[in-house]
Structure 1
């Protein structure tokens, strides 16, 4: 009995000791709080309930937290942050486990905010994130009736061109998304004029590598710029429509209408237009129509579709001066070209996407059919090394059908350690054309400049071109370690395979003065080419809250094959290229980041550069391909740096781009004697090394006066070298381009304006003997003022003055003055009339210069620049307030 009591006493003591030891175990919970785009949420509230006790902590600037002295084996966890939904979960410790690392806790945006609670604080106008620059709309001036376009104009580094295209740091924003999803047709220029800026909280400019890269994390190649608009809670819906009519004193007029229904992912639109544009140099009539639809059609399946049709007639006249540099001197050509064309186009686009955690699926179909009928007359008067006059009239007809399909599939492992994607795409298309070309060449004596002979030739040219291509790829990434770790490391593997095939037929016939038609075998051929390219890449990626980089090595074997009907020689070239690849982004802080990218790619010569049969459609410059051309390889690298003031909004963005190409295909311009012992040009093609392009740019924005005023500066410097051949002799054209501007912008409630000055300089220095450098220099001064006299009435005027030198054809340094008056009426200002005057002093000219190979091209269009236009517009908008 005594023994039993002793045993029970020992058991009781051991139990108490065990409970005491258990109570003494101190446990810890660690984690990081982030938003849906993986950005840290500092200042978040984290609470753990342990029995009757409660432990609370606030996340640090990196979003990290650590809670210690937890005594219970199971605890409740609550995470809260202003503007986000609360997150609750239960954390359970294993036996003898004293640490649980939760990794990243993702908080979703809160869409049901309390109306009565208003929290005010300092607004951060610009935030730097990985691959993203985010602008806070509340930090900028938003007037009643402003659209997204008006908001974008205030962002440093952002430029909206006259055609509506938007650029950021010199790169065009090619796609539009709302809340991270494609919006209607994704046309940036179209919808920034239709969406009110008041419904958006943030605007993001994203370096996007594509849907597959977003899923697997494998970022290779050059990203495209995407504009993403983030709506305020619950404001991702609305209906908006517009009908407008316009007429101008230049005999131009138009009628446009469109309607759009937007309910989150459900989007429907339709519209049409008819426009006649006449400005003396051009008379264009075109009619267009379009419809689109996208919506959820399954549990997690989304459909998008669109159809566009259009047709038009175009009359155009332009004048071009071309200076061609060669070893004997220069050839100066004064050209006049008149064309009348009629074209039509039909395009259909459809796509399916599936959005499911750990999975990804997308497919698309695009069909396009276009036709074109053109009548053309031109004259080319040559002086210098060659003295000839060429007069040409021609008619042409061409049909071009094209079909493209694509599909991609992504899968993630159950343990979330591995992700893989498969992709496939194919395209088939071609064109069929007929040309009736009548040419007359006048030959002159090189000593007396007297006309000695003319030559008349009538050719009938038939072309049939077909293209087929298949692309397939596989990507796989494997996480090293725990996928929930704050720092993630992974290995990557990619493989892609592409085959493209071209079939081309060229038939040339000659019609004599009696109408007899003869087939010219030497100017006709049937040519087939095939290009096979493989891309094999292995790499490593590191990703943390601040640093993301990927490094790898790429192998690119390729085969180029070609054959010609009736010829025994064939093309069979095998090329093997290799290069490192990599990208690096470092978020130094919330206000500054660095991004770097490098990649290489192979490119096959075009079929017209390969075919050895003469193309005589331009008798002053016959083109003959080179079947021995090799595949070229392009190296491209860029680096950018961004710095923003966290509350001031001051901004600095700097970028450098560099590229060079191995075995680049360039022209070899040869002067040869014709049958009259005169000269004509002949273009052939060769591979060269030594071409490069280096371009640097920067923008600075200095806001003041509560961001109502901004001083902006920007510019770029470009250096390039182009290797050219003239008469089989290698030459170089070293170019320099410099641009600098400074401006002041003002945005007030009843007044806005801007004033600026810019300077540009370009030069081209050919190493050809006797070439005289031709440098182009230009100063521009501009001012724009807009007055909001009443809520429904405003007026504006803009003035610019140019001082330009260096054009061979001369420039008259115009002073351009435009003015407009705008009046809105009806309820909610739905209707408006806008009267605008263009070039009041009638001094406008349209000049531009381009450099291509051994040619300096100056183009001038003789068109009406002074005219008046009146536009009536009716807008119907119903967005969630």
Structure 2
């Protein structure tokens, strides 16, 4: 029977080969002549039914087409489908079709343009979201779109994180918008003028101009406007009064005239979320324009005044080899802050080969604080109570300029870049500290000790950096990059400390706590790397040599420190595109960190009598190995998105603390030492899948982190292992003009263990459930709600399980819905509180803070908008 089947299959295959077949080849391109990899091509005839995806060059090949007459269909999201019937010669063995051009899939209905949308596109360093795929309400700001983007988190103050990393800046059409105030940027633009939003791994100006990327990108958000919406204005004024003395006022405006953009954001309020109670006043101005055909100017000015009151309790466990030290602290504090910052950019395109950018930056800060606290400390040998009261004020300024120049040679790819930066920063600070210690020893004897100290500090830092980079093309796809960098920072610090007699009030200089030192840290870095670039594969590998010198002098004691250091620093980067929908990237780099000058000084700081700190002149620099892996995938037609990231950090000669409890006392002595064994691993993922034209979206997300921390307690090595796991699920419902809501659930788990026999390990569990959204009624009424419940277990500050409910009802009115009246209630159950846990080397710290309590507010909002006739 087996032989019969073999003969049958053999004859069948021979018959197949005997039938004449032919190959059909072709290319798919858009109207601009660009290839469309990923386009789907189908060939159908009486004898064939074949389908394939176009390759990265836009080409396709059907190798065994049996019928000389066939129908070819080519389709791609965002383009019209191509259909044509073909008849070729029976004897032809290979057919090359004319290039198939797919037209943009848009049709005009009167003044309305209907265009197919691609919700999410994954590119090398960019995830692009089509704004029209994420429906929002008329009058909404860009912030409402951002909240719906897969992998993006937006807190109640507008701060954004993506894949666990913060968005540090926002750009508008590729240029900085409101500097590093990302929240103001997304709150100051209307959503309906936006074309797309791009989350970008930004490698800096040099990478943008030359295409050669470094190793440490920052996450930024770029907002591109619709071309027909770049002329117009937008204004929004909000005012509100509430119970418990709550108030808010905000004025936002935008004027867009093509390249000229002027934006203003002014606010006063005492309704911010977060730990403590804050009162804030702020003014932000952003400007952009072309000063001639070759010069572009843009920048921002920001002023911020904040008064902050906080009530906090902290429970700390310090793990020693045979016992655990407990500190229970309660603290009240008030702080005030004034900030000014002026940032500017001048871009001069001298000609097609030369480019110059100048970035001046000026900042000034003034701070003051008043703290009172009570700290109880428990050890097997006794206990102590510390009453603390302190006052401080400080001012600081920072003035700097960065210059970037790039020259492109006639040979394609040959490039020279020069960068320079100089900054001068400094400030003065004053503090008045009063501590009273009540100490009880193991026999029950009680002693009191008072500490009254005044300190005045002045510091100045001058930093200069010069960098040159030369790129030489080795072939059409490969480059050699030679870099040199010189960096020098000089620091001078003067601290004068006096002890105050608690009875007479006499001040006596404390020479041990006073110092005057200056030091310089100078590094040279020369690096060589090889870079390869093709459509599917890009990689870079290189090595840098970095000699450095740390030298300084404590002028108060005539101590001189001089350290010569040398490091070899490898670097590597790889990007592989499986297709236009799938991208994998990896980057590795080594980096060195020298110990701080004060860490090297063999001096003792006893400003806290219960914990003195002494430097170690034998410290070596740390060297870290960092590896990042990232995978991005999206389905352009369905909107399915998957993002995953893994990061590993391993540090050699890690600078860690050593803590020793002084015999027969409650006092602790802290110093520093180098050790190996530290590493940290963290991972993140999000999987998002929309259904029914994005009416329903399901998102899975999670992250995990593990740290292997090293510390020395009572001269014995103590290994701490900290594991964090978080897993969540989101379900979003978007029914236009009916409901816009999201259900968010998450479970998180933290486990901490130490090698110390005195510590059994700790576990914290948290379950978080949140329902937030808006329901729309009778076209102009809206019910908004934000309900959340948190279940905490394992915290030492108490397992508060708050249920928070914020609700508002609003009505739109006036012509064009320009006016909105809102009645809102916040924290209706009056249970708002903040709980957190931090794990350090040999310490676990649980914190609990007060937060804004229940109040009600009536507010009015007035909006004006006109963009391109919209």
TM-score range, shorter chain: 0.7 to 0.9
Structure 2: distance between partners of 1:34 and 1:170: 37
State the match for 1:137 in structure 2. Answer: 131
State the match for 2:752 in structure 1. Answer: 764
Question: Shift of residue 727 of structure 1?
Answer: 2.0
Taking a change above 3 Å as real, the CA distance of residues 236 and 256 of structure 1, as seen in their structure-2 partners, is: same
State the match for 1:267 in structure 2. Answer: 261
Aligned residues of 1:571 and 1:628 also touching (Cα < 8 A): no
Is 1:383 matched with 2:391? no
What TM-score, normalized by structure 1, do the two folds share? 0.84
State the match for 2:409 in structure 1. Answer: 413
Question: Shift of residue 657 of structure 1?
Answer: 0.7
Tell me the matched-pair count: 789
Is 1:847 matched with 2:835? yes
Aligned residues of 2:763 and 2:794 also touching (Cα < 8 A): yes
Question: Shift of residue 853 of structure 1?
Answer: 2.4
Q: What is the CA RMSD across the aligned residues, in angstroms?
A: 3.0
Structure 2: distance between partners of 1:343 and 1:714: 37
**Aligned pair partner of 1:504 in 493, 505, 510:** 493
Structure 1: distance between partners of 2:169 and 2:120: 21
Question: Shift of residue 723 of structure 1?
Answer: 0.9
Question: Shift of residue 721 of structure 1?
Answer: 0.7
Question: Shift of residue 424 of structure 1?
Answer: 0.4
State the match for 2:208 in structure 1. Answer: 214
SS in 1 for 2:833: coil
Question: Shift of residue 682 of structure 1?
Answer: 2.0
Aligned residues of 2:741 and 2:772 also touching (Cα < 8 A): yes
* 1:815-830 alignment, distance < 5 Å: 815-830=803-818
State the match for 1:127 in structure 2. Answer: 121
Is 1:404 matched with 2:392? no
Show CA shifts across 1:668-711 (max 9, x none).
112125xxx52211221122222111111111112111221011
State the match for 1:536 in structure 2. Answer: 526
**Aligned pair partner of 2:467 in 465, 473, 478:** 473
Is 1:565 matched with 2:555? yes
**Aligned pair partner of 2:366 in 367, 371, 374:** 371
Question: Shift of residue 615 of structure 1?
Answer: 2.5
What TM-score, normalized by structure 2, do the two folds share? 0.85
Structure 1: distance between partners of 2:430 and 2:134: 56
Question: Shift of residue 572 of structure 1?
Answer: 1.8
Show CA shifts across 1:444-483 (max 9, x none).
13233x5x2211222111222221111110111112235x
Aligned residues of 1:279 and 1:865 also touching (Cα < 8 A): no
Aligned residues of 1:420 and 1:477 also touching (Cα < 8 A): yes
SS in 1 for 2:759: coil
Aligned residues of 2:77 and 2:637 also touching (Cα < 8 A): no
**Aligned pair partner of 1:576 in 566, 569, 572:** 566
Is 1:646 matched with 2:640? no
Is 1:239 matched with 2:233? yes
Aligned residues of 1:523 and 1:613 also touching (Cα < 8 A): no
Question: Shift of residue 828 of structure 1?
Answer: 1.8
**Aligned pair partner of 1:736 in 696, 719, 723:** 723
Question: Shift of residue 753 of structure 1?
Answer: 1.9
State the match for 1:71 in structure 2. Answer: none
Taking a change above 3 Å as real, the CA distance of residues 165 and 588 of structure 1, as seen in their structure-2 partners, is: same
State the match for 2:859 in structure 1. Answer: 871
Structure 2: distance between partners of 1:757 and 1:270: 37
Structure 2: distance between partners of 1:82 and 1:127: 11
Is 1:547 matched with 2:527? no
Structure 2: distance between partners of 1:114 and 1:214: 36
**Aligned pair partner of 1:686 in 673, 681, 696:** 673
**Aligned pair partner of 2:324 in 303, 322, 330:** 330
Aligned residues of 2:621 and 2:653 also touching (Cα < 8 A): yes
SS in 1 for 2:762: coil
Question: Shift of residue 440 of structure 1?
Answer: 0.9
Question: Shift of residue 143 of structure 1?
Answer: 4.1
Structure 1: distance between partners of 2:233 and 2:626: 44
Question: Shift of residue 635 of structure 1?
Answer: 1.7
**Aligned pair partner of 1:254 in 248, 253, 262:** 248
**Aligned pair partner of 1:697 in 675, 680, 684:** 684
Structure 2: distance between partners of 1:479 and 1:666: 45
SS in 2 for 1:545: coil
Taking a change above 3 Å as real, the CA distance of residues 117 and 65 of structure 1, as seen in their structure-2 partners, is: farther
State the match for 1:627 in structure 2. Answer: 617
Aligned residues of 1:43 and 1:63 also touching (Cα < 8 A): no
Question: Shift of residue 120 of structure 1?
Answer: 6.3
Show CA shifts across 1:263-304 (max 9, x none).
233122334333335999945433322333221113211112
Aligned residues of 1:301 and 1:354 also touching (Cα < 8 A): yes
State the match for 1:74 in structure 2. Answer: none
Show CA shifts across 1:824-878 (max 9, x none).
2222222212222222222333211111222211111234532223322222222
Question: Shift of residue 642 of structure 1?
Answer: 1.4
Aligned residues of 1:33 and 1:63 also touching (Cα < 8 A): no
Question: Shift of residue 736 of structure 1?
Answer: 0.8
State the match for 1:147 in structure 2. Answer: 141
Taking a change above 3 Å as real, the CA distance of residues 438 and 262 of structure 1, as seen in their structure-2 partners, is: same
Aligned residues of 1:780 and 1:803 also touching (Cα < 8 A): yes
Structure 2: distance between partners of 1:278 and 1:818: 14
SS in 2 for 1:471: strand
* 1:60-459 alignment, distance < 5 Å: 62=56, 123-185=117-179, 187-276=181-270, 282-355=276-349, 356-385=351-380, 386-448=382-444, 452-459=446-453
Mark the runs of 5 or more structure 1 residues left unpaired by the alignment: 1-29, 45-58, 67-80, 85-106, 483-487
Structure 2: distance between partners of 1:122 and 1:797: 33
Question: Shift of residue 372 of structure 1?
Answer: 1.9
Aligned residues of 1:39 and 1:129 also touching (Cα < 8 A): no
Taking a change above 3 Å as real, the CA distance of residues 627 and 574 of structure 1, as seen in their structure-2 partners, is: same
Aligned residues of 1:590 and 1:646 also touching (Cα < 8 A): no
Taking a change above 3 Å as real, the CA distance of residues 376 and 843 of structure 1, as seen in their structure-2 partners, is: closer
Structure 2: distance between partners of 1:817 and 1:231: 36
Aligned residues of 2:435 and 2:452 also touching (Cα < 8 A): yes
Higher mean C-alpha deviation, range 866-875 or range 402-411: 866-875
Taking a change above 3 Å as real, the CA distance of residues 169 and 34 of structure 1, as seen in their structure-2 partners, is: farther
Question: Shift of residue 177 of structure 1?
Answer: 1.9
**Aligned pair partner of 2:483 in 481, 484, 494:** 494
Structure 2: distance between partners of 1:150 and 1:691: 41
SS in 2 for 1:192: helix
State the match for 2:712 in structure 1. Answer: 725
Question: Shift of residue 713 of structure 1?
Answer: 0.4
Structure 1: distance between partners of 2:834 and 2:235: 35
SS in 2 for 1:130: coil
